Structure 1
Amino acid sequence: MTGSPIEAALRKLIGVTIPPHFGDEKVPAFRPHMTITSDIPDNLDPKEVLGKISLSGLLEVSFKELNIGLLSKEMGVGYVKVFRKTYYTRGTLHLERTPAIVGLARQCRELFANGGTEEEAVDKWEKEVFTPHVSLVYSAMEPIPDNMRKAIGKDLQEANIGVLHWNGPKGEMRGWKGGSIVLVSTHNPIEEWEAMAERRL
């Protein structure tokens, strides 16, 4: 996704277009990404972690639906702390649960999450928690007004980003192929999130 039109469109939405809807709240900016898993211990070697991941074929990411204001499963990472303030994932593009995405997430979870996870626990996580998504905004606002939901939906359409149930124009961007898998330290404020290792898919 790096350097692609879809990345540029998402960066603008996340950093420029969507934040003004939240008024005086300074919602944080961040790099566009699809979250795979959390709970990877700090004591693991980042390059070794990415080196052990087995990939089969080109990963395809497809946007399924826009979710604004609803706190869903979000893979157990529905909120982040920034200078003692809690920001919730208030806007996401939920993704198609393809076998490739589910398989990659299960592999990462089983090999590395919490230092390694039993298959039974991974099964439960996949069925009850795992929601593949691309976050668009983190905010402390509650509730999200209906007019804001509509405005953000319009923002996406004007950015030429669509989801499966929209009947958008030909050429609309509805996902991407390939990209990179990145191991990120999220202990600091979002603006200081650090990519510890990166591997092209």
Structure 2
Amino acid sequence: MTGASLWLCPPAGSSIETALQELISVTIPPHFGDEKVPAFRPHMTITSDIPDDLDPEGVLEKISLSSPLEVSFKELNIGKTYYTRGTLHLERTPAIVGLARQCRELFAHGGTEEEVVDRWEKEVFTPHVSLVYSAMDPVPDNIRKAVGQDLQEANVGVLHWNGPKGEMRGWKGGRISLVSTHKPIEEWKAMAERTL
């Protein structure tokens, strides 16, 4: 990945943060055999390609939020790239899309024109929470089913599942983090963080 990234993370210490971290770090990796899949913090990438020489606190201060942010899991998706191999796709709410557009326009590549942001939003932006980064391609059906089972057992729900009452189907609020994703995954860390 080039530059730094802005992430929307679950509220610190929340049940959904704990459940997702357990899935990412412990439960899902064994399905991928001998491949050493990395652990990472649960997050939705708002945008990437942010120059890493910008003032981290200044970036977070410039973000304005007009409505409360709510993340809702839509479906489990097995993607075609290393970073999207296993994801929870999210509902494209006006608040999520608005935040992504604002951050892309303000910070990506040091600032981007509105028409470029329009194209990025329509063709590239797919709000999701990654569960695994993997080189496995294709992912066999039995692994796809196992990851779905892991989600159900962790009580993490998506819209088309009728799970138990109290099922975790997303989060409200959380934290925006500017993360050093231009470095190797094991060196990713928050350069600055803002609680919503």
TM range (shorter): over 0.9
The whole-number CA distance in structure 1 between the counterparts of 2:190 and 2:167 is: 30
Q: Residue 97 of structure 2 aligns with which residue? A: 102
> What is the TM-score normalised by the length of structure 1?
0.90
Aligned counterpart in structure 2 of residue 192 of structure 1, from 174, 187, 191: 187
Overall identity of the aligned pairs, in %: 84
Matched, 1:140 2:135: yes
Which ranges of 4 or more aligned residues in structure 1 deviate by more than 6 Å?
A: none
What is the Cα-based RMSD across aligned positions, in Å? 0.9
Who is 2:108 aligned against? 113
Kindly provide the CA deviation profile for residues 65-116 of structure 1, in whole angstroms up to 9, marking residues without a partner as x: 1002x22xxxxxx5xxxxxxxx442100000000000000000000010010
Q: How big is the shift at 1:57?
A: 2.8
Task: Say yes or no: does 1:160 pair with 2:155.
Answer: yes
Match of 2:63 among 36, 53, 60: 53
Matched, 1:12 2:7: no
Q: Is residue 83–residue 130 contact of structure 2 (8 Å, CA) maintained in 1?
A: no
Matched, 1:34 2:29: no
Specify the SS of the correspondent of 1:191.
Answer: helix
Q: Which residue, out of 156, 175, 192, partners 1:180?
A: 175
Q: How many residues were matched structurally?
A: 186
Gaps of 5+ in 2: 1-10
Q: Distance in 1 between matches of 2:181 and 2:163?
A: 35
Measured against aligned partners, the alpha-carbon deviations of 1:17-69 in whole angstroms (never above 9, x if no partner) come to 0000011111000000011001001121111011000012321100001002x
Range moving further from structure 2, 189-198 or 174-183: 189-198
CA distance in 2, matches of 1:126, 1:150: 30
Deviation of 1:165 after TM superposition, in Å, equals: 1.0
Structure-2 separation of matches of 1:181 and 1:23: 33
